[in-house]
Amino acid sequence: MTALDQSPHVPLALVPAYDDQQHRFARAFAILRDAVKEQAFPGAALAVGYKGKLTASHGFGRFTYDSDAPPIKRETVFDIASVTKALATTTMAMILFERGWLKLEAPVAQLLPEFVSLSPPHQRPKREAVTVRMLLAHSSGLPAYEKLFEYAHDRKQLLRAAMTTPLASAPGTRADYSDIGFILLGEILERIAGEPLDQFAQREIFDRLGMARTWFIPPLELRQQIPPTEDDRTFRKRIIQGEVNDENAWVMGGISGHAGVFASAPDLALFAECLLNGGAPLLKPATTALFTRREESPHGTSRALGWDTPSQPSSSGTQFSASSYGHLGFTGTSLWIDPKRHLSVTLLTNRTWPDRRPQRIKEIRPLVHDAIVEAIERK
């Protein structure tokens, strides 16, 4: 299949209005500065979109804990890890759904026959029940994560390993966040569109929205301008900078449905503004509402289609409305969107530097989001 004709390229506007951000968001900024001092992460970039304006856009800390490391700027690009699932993969699914090319209830086996044919006979009945909707809603029964990179050495091998990963539970019975499911979803979308995920996302999403500092694979000349995510002593045995941190995505060449995108905080705020506008200029409001609404099953799930929604406790804090949706990234990144307030908060960090042990980001995210809501609602 080939892409349909698109509307003229008209970049979305998010009006800069952060002249008073140091005063208005003083508490949120103080939380982030303290977090850097306490080495929760070396650096962070924050962007707040509110009612069509970019009301905060600021960098904190440095690339690493070294005093001479480059400072984080508002436009610094980060490895956004699993926020890729929402920004690229889910949005591509929304576009293909809207064109009538992707059916949510379509069996995965119909679109990815190997998912069933390569599995043992006794597993096939359950695998035949898995649908595209289940992949998006993380209810397919696939496990959260597998170190496929330990025995798969190229993209083809890793995809085969993902397609043959045993189900951990019966399809549709529980929601378990799954990287494996989004690796498969990315492959399905590529087959439907007839082109790689990165090319589709660049043309149909990033370029159309004017996201000039967003890519699956950053230009070589810019990689030293991206904060390193890890001093990898075990797998790649080098500092990871300007290449995807996730090992499974790296084996896939840096392009996967579950991870791989690099972006700046203002670019993600621009993307969020698109969704807050009902999806324009990429999508129709009905499509945006369908994918960002919490699923009714499995019972108790907080998942929407490709997105999460606030649960208790939530990384979005205590103030975001029930209609909000967002996503986190392993490297210390997040995007939360509150349509009731026409508010988005993008927080990008490299909390995995120099290794993956620091977990204080879990405490810091809710505090930052609560402080931002309090700031915009203060009379």
Q: How far apart are CA 27 and CA 43, in angstroms?
A: 17
Half-sphere exposure of 170 (CA within 13 A, CB side): 3
CB-CB contact of 352 with 78 (8 Å): no
Cβ partners under 8 Å of residue 118, min gap 6: 160, 163, 164
Q: How far apart are the first and last CA of the chain?
A: 53
> In this predicted structure, what is the pLDDT of residue 174?
96
Which residues face 78 on adjacent strands? 263
Report the greatest alpha carbon distance in the chain: 64
* Residue 277: count of CB within 10 angstroms of its CB: 17
Domain boundaries, the chain: 16-86+213-267+310-377
* Residue 276: count of CB within 10 angstroms of its CB: 23
pLDDT in tens, 177-206: 999 999 999 999 999 999 999 999 999 999
Tell me which CATH homologous superfamily contains domain 16-86+213-267+310-377: DD-peptidase/beta-lactamase superfamily (3.40.710.10)
Average pLDDT, the chain: 96
> In this predicted structure, what is the pLDDT of residue 13?
84
pTM strictly above 0.75: yes
Q: How far apart are CA 314 and CA 220, in angstroms?
A: 37
Nearest alpha carbon to residue 187 among 177, 175, 195: 195
Q: Write out residues in the chain with pLDDT < 50, as ranges.
A: 1-8
Which residues face 346 on adjacent strands? 47, 335
Q: Could you tell me how far CA 308 lies from the centroid of its own chain?
A: 11
> In this predicted structure, what is the pLDDT of residue 1?
37
Nearest alpha carbon to residue 231 among 358, 60, 68, 348: 358
Q: Which residue has the tokens 């205590």?
A: 318
